[in-house]
Structure 1
Amino acid sequence: MSGDVVNLRQARKQKLRRAKEEAADQNRISFGRTKAEKTLTRSLNDMASKKLDQGRREPAPDRTEDE
């Protein structure tokens, strides 16, 4: 029944470092894009929005004035 001795202070610090590194990796993925990539994404989103709006039908006019 001899287990490894673990220093809890060091284990806690190591766990905190791993969590910070994982958060940093996520931020690199999310925010680490070049200006060209951001511009391309923005232009593609604008084009998709315009295409969606082009297919939209206008609402029918009310006929309460003619009747």
Structure 2
Amino acid sequence: MDLLQNDKAFQNLFNKYLISRVASYQHLLIQRIQDKPEVRYKKFFRKIMRYYCVYSNIISLPI
């Protein structure tokens, strides 16, 4: 974990990766709701929240 915190280049790259993952899931969720409003989207919402929680924890880490 210390290695992760010390390597700022990797940290920035990982943050960008997480942001892109959250954005892609949000886009997928919106597309699903527009195409089929009756489709259950709980699974997609869970994925969005999981990535958001991981991302917010990384932001709060001391660098």
TM-score (norm 1): 0.40
- Where is the helix percentage greater, Structure 1 or Structure 2? 2
TM-score (norm 2): 0.42
